[in-house]
Amino acid sequence: MDKEQFSAIAPRGTIRRFAAAGAVNTLLFWIFWEILRISPALEILSETGIWAVAWVISCTIAHFTHRYFTFDGRKDVKTTMLGAFTVYAIGGALSTISYELLVSNLDLQIRIIFVINMLIWGLFTWASMRWFVFGYDD
């Protein structure tokens, strides 16, 4: 699929384009999370702690993915990085709290909890990045 065809299907700034980039970012997040889960970090940090660590690592990658692929580079990188990390800090804190609540209160397989939590916070992140960080307008 060429760029024009992809842009027709998923224009810049849309949730479809965000989801495409987010799928890659989420895969990376999941890999970091899984690696931390099988490492000694799980005993040191707990389930919730490794969620938070994996979140921070993947947020740095995600900022640049969304800057260059989902939205655009019109705004200064320092401005978007500061805004993105503000969004990621809020989302990270709240997603960690919701992850803990889901783990503590639901008798679901841990990876199902992972998916539920990521879907909730992915929507929050897209909206925040689109309107507040990148100020993207069609």
Task: Give yes or no for residue 104 having a pLDDT over 90.
Answer: yes
Q: How far apart are CA 34 and CA 137, in angstroms?
A: 36
Query: What is the pLDDT confidence band of residue 65, given thresholds at 50, 70 and 90?
Result: confident
Nearest CA-CA partner of 32 in 7, 51, 48: 51
**From residue 4, how far is each of 1, 66, 91, 100, 136 by CA, in Å?**
8, 18, 32, 42, 19
Residues 39-67, buried b or exposed e (16+ Cβ, 10 A)?
eeeeeeeebeebbbebbeebbeebbebbb
**In the chain, where the domains are located:** 13-133
Mean per-residue pLDDT of the chain: 86
pLDDT band, very low/low/confident/very high, at 138 (cuts 50, 70, 90) = low
Based on its alpha-carbon atoms, the radius of gyration of the chain, rounded to whole angstroms, reads 16
- The residue assigned the tokens 């800090």 is 89
Full-model pTM: 0.70
